[in-house]
Amino acid sequence: MAHATTVARLRALPADVCLGLVSTFADFLPTMLQGVTAHVRTRQTPVCTALSDTERLALVLAWADVVVYASGSEAILERLPAGAAPIEYLHTPEPSTVEDLRPLLARVRGAYPSMDEKARWSIGSPASR
């Protein structure tokens, strides 16, 4: 789910905008595209690319009026042409997803000793090292 700041910026875009999407990870592009298109209706289909596809990235940056980039893809900012506007796609996890992860996190926490327990396992005290 897109962060409220991202949603507000997307909703302010005109319908005739040429929109490019850039993600660090190609696997995130469908999620990002779904999140973006839920909040902005453009006449043209947004053009998407992963940061690693340098040829397509150059085309997207040259074509787009607005580039929506995933957190972690900030490297594109120095390559944006004059006049192209960047929007960082801030992603907020669904609360139900976070709740689903709590039992898993508790099991993982129980499977690994805490830092205090690790310190007891080490040889000698920190002062003697």
The domain segmentation of the chain, as residue ranges, is 4-89, 95-124
Q: What's the Cα-to-Cα distance from 19 to each of 33, 75, 88, 128, rounded to whole Å?
A: 11, 18, 13, 60
- Evaluate if residue 65 carries a pLDDT over 70: yes
DSSP letter string over 12-51?
TS-TT--EEEEESSGGGHHHHHHHHHTT---SSPPEEEET
Q: Give the model's pLDDT for residue 92.
A: 67
- On the question of pLDDT at 89 being above 50, the answer is yes
Amino acid 128: pLDDT: 46
Does pLDDT of 69 surpass 90? yes
pLDDT in tens, 17-46: 999 999 999 999 998 999 899 899 889 999
d(CA 122, CA 40) in angstroms, rounded, equals 55
Contact 88, 69 (CB under 8 A): yes
24 in Cβ contact with 51 (< 8 Å): yes
Mean pLDDT, all residues of the chain: 84
pLDDT tens figures, 101-116: 778 888 887 776 665 5
Fold (CATH) for 4-89? Rossmann fold (3.40.50)
Rounded Cα–Cα distance for residues 33 and 7 (Å): 13
Say which residue, 63 or 102, is predicted with more confidence: 63
pLDDT of residue 29: 94
The sign of the CA dihedral 12, 79, 64, 56 is negative
